[in-house]
Amino acid sequence: MEEIVDRTYAAQQFFFQQIRDKLPPHISLVDEMEELLEISQDSAYRRIRGEKELSFGEMQKLVSHFGVSADIAFNAASENVVSFRYNPLNSHTFTMKDYITSAYDTVKAISDKSSCKMIYAAKDIPLFHYFMFDEIGAFKMFVWQKTLLGFPEFENKYFSLAAADPELLALGKKLLKEYNLFPSVELWNEETINSVLRQLEFYCESRIFDDMLEAKIILDKIEEYVEHLRKQAELGYKIGLGTDQKKLGSFEMYNNEVFLSDNTILATMGEKKITFITHNALNFLTTTNNKFCDTTHEWFDNLIKRSSLISSVSEKQRNQFFSKIQNRLKQTREKVKYMID
């Protein structure tokens, strides 16, 4: 019985913490509860402190009003149950624009917090990076919708840079700009670049370009992107493109030669943590479960210990790493040229 009481108390505390995280600083949780639940200020405080359990009806009102999850709160109090938020991409109710907008809202909420940092195990090029160049962003968004997700409206389409959605690319630029503001740690290996290059080769071989010469344009931009990434690694912080050399968020880059299982992200904001795990290549499962996030943090710490830092220091290792990527780009260029010719 005591264990049940403890779990109920922990769940109620976590439930109110979710609400606090959503409330703007100028709004009082107590005042909101007073009005919504039609109770006194003292009664509101007793519920917040856990001295009085919320009734089912009260919880329903709070869930509906604040848009928080009671399931996540109760599962957070259990050591063996983890709840995830999941909103899968589809062509009707959660489109690519919705996906990028949702990613922007999440990253914006992270960057608004103090002491924020993101750690990214990059099995593929991180989502944010694609929008450094419109050509790369347009190609990846097309591949995702046509080939990986199989959206019906893309079934008979061929890729064309002229047909790229400017609104989608603008959303991607906003996402990149927000990501560049705060510190990030990225773990790469030589395979990280291969996904986009294989997709480019496949599209050439399958003749899915309106104009096959655009494959060369995209490859040129990927080479520019790699050079920009190398420059950021050398500096140890993020910068804009071209002449925009303003120092942005710090950038740590590691080469992990052993193991990167999937695109896993951990965002930390002081004591608070959020874990993002990819599902079906693109969709993210998201959780704030403390035990799960702590375990993920430990996994990242272990991964970093077994990786080589190639940003700021270790010029020799950095040059060796990017030399291997350049060789892979050269191989792709030769294949693309052969297929076009």
Contact 283, 262 (CB under 8 A): no
Give the Cα separation of 15 and 69 in Å (integer): 8
Task: Note whether 224 and 169 are same-domain residues.
Answer: yes
Q: What is the pLDDT of residue 75?
A: 63
Task: Note whether 163 and 298 are same-domain residues.
Answer: yes
Task: Note whether 104 and 7 are same-domain residues.
Answer: no
The pLDDT tens digits of the residues spanning 150-162 come to 999 999 999 999 9
Which domain does 181 fall in, by range? 85-340
Task: Give the confidence band of 114 by pLDDT, cuts at 50, 70, 90.
Answer: confident
Burial (CB count <10 Å: 0-12, 13-18, 19+), residue 27: exposed
Using alpha carbons, select from 134, 143, 214 the residue that is nearest to residue 169.
Answer: 134
In the chain, the number of structural domains is 2
Residue 226 is which amino acid?
V
Give the Cα separation of 186 and 307 in Å (integer): 11
- Is the pLDDT confidence value at 322 over 50? yes
- Is the pLDDT confidence value at 195 over 70? yes
Task: Give the confidence band of 245 by pLDDT, cuts at 50, 70, 90.
Answer: confident
Q: What is the pLDDT of residue 4?
A: 47
Give the Cα separation of 320 and 341 in Å (integer): 32
Backbone angles phi, psi at 121, to 5 degrees: -90, 105
59, 76, 93: which is the final residue of a domain? Answer: 76
Q: What is the pLDDT of residue 7?
A: 65
- Cross-strand partners of 253: 186
What is the mean predicted confidence (pLDDT) over 245-250? 92
Task: Note whether 65 and 164 are same-domain residues.
Answer: no
Task: Note whether 21 and 128 are same-domain residues.
Answer: no
19, 54, 76: which is the final residue of a domain? Answer: 76
Write out the H or E segment, with its range, that includes residue 37. Answer: helix 29-37
How many residues does this entry show for the chain?
Answer: 341
Helix (H, G, I), strand (E, B) or coil at 307: coil
Q: What is the pLDDT of residue 2?
A: 45
Give the Cα separation of 227 and 72 in Å (integer): 43
Give the Cα separation of 300 and 200 in Å (integer): 31
Contact 133, 221 (CB under 8 A): yes
Question: In angstroms, how far is CA 56 from the centroid of its own chain?
Answer: 34
Task: Note whether 230 and 208 are same-domain residues.
Answer: yes
Task: Note whether 140 and 218 are same-domain residues.
Answer: yes
- Is the pLDDT confidence value at 118 over 90? yes
76, 107, 128: which is the final residue of a domain? Answer: 76
Task: Note whether 240 and 124 are same-domain residues.
Answer: yes
Q: What is the pLDDT of residue 68?
A: 77
Task: Note whether 63 and 157 are same-domain residues.
Answer: no
Task: Note whether 102 and 204 are same-domain residues.
Answer: yes
Task: Note whether 251 and 167 are same-domain residues.
Answer: yes
What is the mean predicted confidence (pLDDT) over 297-320? 94
Task: Note whether 93 and 133 are same-domain residues.
Answer: yes
